[in-house]
Amino acid sequence: MLYTEHPLTADTPRDGANGRSDPAAGAEGRGDAWARAWAIAERLARAGGGRTRLAGTGGGYRIELHLTGPTSNEVEVVNVIALGDRWGHRYSSPARNDGVEKHCVWSEVHQKPAEPTGN
Euclidean distance between CA atoms 27 and 17, whole angstroms: 22
Give residue-wise pLDDT tens across range 41-77.
999 999 998 889 999 998 999 999 998 877 889 999 9
Average pLDDT across the chain, whole number: 80
- For 51, phi then psi, to 5°, come to -105, 125
pLDDT band for position 28 (cuts 50, 70, 90): very low
pLDDT at 7: 56
Q: What is the mean pLDDT of residues 20-42?
A: 72
As a whole number, mean pLDDT of residues 28-44 equals: 87
Q: Provide Rg for the chain, Cα atoms.
A: 16
One DSSP character per residue, 80-101 reads HHTTSSEEEEEEE-GGGTTT--
- Residue 78 CA to residue 84 CA, distance in Å, equals 11
